[in-house]
Amino acid sequence: MDINLAMCNYLLENGDRMTDEWYASLEETDPSSVYASTDPEAVAELKAQNREFHNIVPNILIEEEQAFLSRFDSWVHELAHDGAHLSTPTHQIIREFTRVRQQYFDLIKEFYTLHPDRLDGHVLGQWKDKIIRVFDIAILKFVEEAHINSVNLLNSQQEMIYELSSPVISLSNDTALLPLVGDIDTARAKIILENTLEQCSAKRVRHLYIDLSGVVIIDTMVAHEIFQLIDTLNLIGVKSTLSGIRPEIAMTALQLGLSFDKTKIASTLSKALTDDGR
């Protein structure tokens, strides 16, 4: 039998053993770590993921690298999107990759003791180089995938925060209030525009009060977005009243040439509501 195939088969045959020994030697005190879970289903899933790893990795010794990596990438991708691993600090994931890598080195040594006459330093060096490369790829791809997933999750959470921070509050059957609070950047302004249009349409709003008294700073781009919101609302039949406009915001709007012709203006929200008999 080809020596590479023999080594590959030896690693495959010892997959269960590696998984059992790896899990038995886990020492994790961080409760957020996937490795600290005592839930039977979580433990079974963790062992299954590790076992599948051992079903794939040894094939690097006998397969063409690109063919091997196409299958291996799928395993890394699934692991990097697993919720339990995403909640585990990255350095702990890397720690376990290095511990498992040492298991492979130990099995290579073990195989050598069984077949010393068939092996030389050159072959052993090749095997170790391939194993190191596989683990380097696994660690790098996991960190990349986890980073991308974290960024996407953060963006989704930020969008949700933006949406929750710009609620359209119904005042009557056809009137509503949009109280804006805090700093507004261009990204948040765009989400406010989209969210407000959707809510006004869903609630059949005919008159929207937009209160800016809680907004400290608005730059030129954001001022433009707000007035674009007013224009867009007008196009769908929603009239707007602006209240709480700070002097600097008014100056910014004038410098941009933005018109207040289609919008009612009130110094405060209470005055806006009183003027309209509310």
In this structure, the answer to whether residues 270 and 145 fall within a common structural domain is no
In this structure, the answer to whether residues 37 and 104 fall within a common structural domain is yes
Which of 134, 157, 180 terminates a domain? The answer is 157
Residue 162 lies in a domain: no
pLDDT band at 252; cut points 50, 70, 90: confident
In this structure, the answer to whether residues 207 and 150 fall within a common structural domain is no
Residue 221 lies in a domain: yes
In this structure, the answer to whether residues 93 and 114 fall within a common structural domain is yes
Q: Report pLDDT for 265.
A: 85
In this structure, the answer to whether residues 122 and 230 fall within a common structural domain is no
Mean pLDDT of 86-114: 93
Q: How many domains does the chain have?
A: 2
Of residues 249, 169, 248, the one with CA closest to residue 209: 169
Whether residue 259 is predicted with pLDDT greater than 70 in this model: the reply is: no
Whether residue 134 is predicted with pLDDT greater than 90 in this model: the reply is: yes
* Least confident among 46-55, 73-82, 255-264: 255-264
Structural domain span for residue 209: 169-275
User: Percent helix, strand, coil in the chain (nearest 5)?
Assistant: 65, 10, 25
Q: Report pLDDT for 206.
A: 93
In this structure, the answer to whether residues 131 and 237 fall within a common structural domain is no
**Over the stretch 137-146, which tens digit does the pLDDT of each residue have?**
999 988 888 8
In this structure, the answer to whether residues 120 and 20 fall within a common structural domain is yes
Q: How far is CA 184 from the centre of its chain?
A: 23
Residue 179 lies in a domain: yes
In this structure, the answer to whether residues 24 and 137 fall within a common structural domain is yes
Residue 163 lies in a domain: no
In this structure, the answer to whether residues 222 and 193 fall within a common structural domain is yes
Say how far apart CA 267 and CA 136 lie, in whole Å.
Answer: 62
Looking up residue 190, the CATH number of its domain turns out to be 3.30.750.24
Structure tokens at 8: 């590959």
- In a 13 Å sphere around the CA of 180, the CA atoms on its Cβ side amount to 28
Residue 164 lies in a domain: no
Say how far apart CA 183 and CA 188 lie, in whole Å.
Answer: 9
Task: Find which of 44-53, 65-74, 171-180 is predicted with most confidence, using mean pLDDT.
Answer: 44-53
pTM over 0.85: no
Helix (H) or strand (E) holding 179: strand 175-181
Mean pLDDT of 24-43: 91
Of residues 1, 143, 142, 19, the one with CA closest to residue 61: 1
In this structure, the answer to whether residues 135 and 177 fall within a common structural domain is no
Looking up residue 117, the CATH number of its domain turns out to be 1.10.490.10
For the chain, what is the mean pLDDT?
A: 87
H, E, C per residue of 146-177:
HHHHHHHHHHHHHHHHHHHCCCCEECCCCEEE
* Least confident among 8-12, 22-26, 121-125: 121-125
Q: Report pLDDT for 81.
A: 85
The residue among 191 and 50 whose pLDDT is bigger is 50
Whether residue 160 is predicted with pLDDT greater than 80 in this model: the reply is: no
CB-count burial class (<10 Å; 0-12, 13-18, 19+) for 260 = middle
Mean pLDDT of 99-111: 96
Whether residue 162 is predicted with pLDDT greater than 70 in this model: the reply is: no
Say how far apart CA 147 and CA 143 lie, in whole Å.
Answer: 6
Q: Report pLDDT for 275.
A: 74
Residue 7 lies in a domain: yes
Which of 103, 124, 157 terminates a domain? The answer is 157
The residue among 32 and 5 whose pLDDT is bigger is 5
Say how far apart CA 207 and CA 62 lie, in whole Å.
Answer: 71
Mean pLDDT of 188-206: 87
Q: Report pLDDT for 164.
A: 60
Say how far apart CA 86 and CA 37 lie, in whole Å.
Answer: 14
Say how far apart CA 46 and CA 34 lie, in whole Å.
Answer: 8
In this structure, the answer to whether residues 192 and 252 fall within a common structural domain is yes
Whether residue 278 is predicted with pLDDT greater than 70 in this model: the reply is: no
Which of 157, 186, 215 terminates a domain? The answer is 157
CA distances from 2 to 61, 130, 133 (A): 11, 17, 22
Residue 146 lies in a domain: yes
Residue 10 lies in a domain: yes
Report the amino acid identity of residue 216.
Answer: V
In this structure, the answer to whether residues 199 and 259 fall within a common structural domain is yes
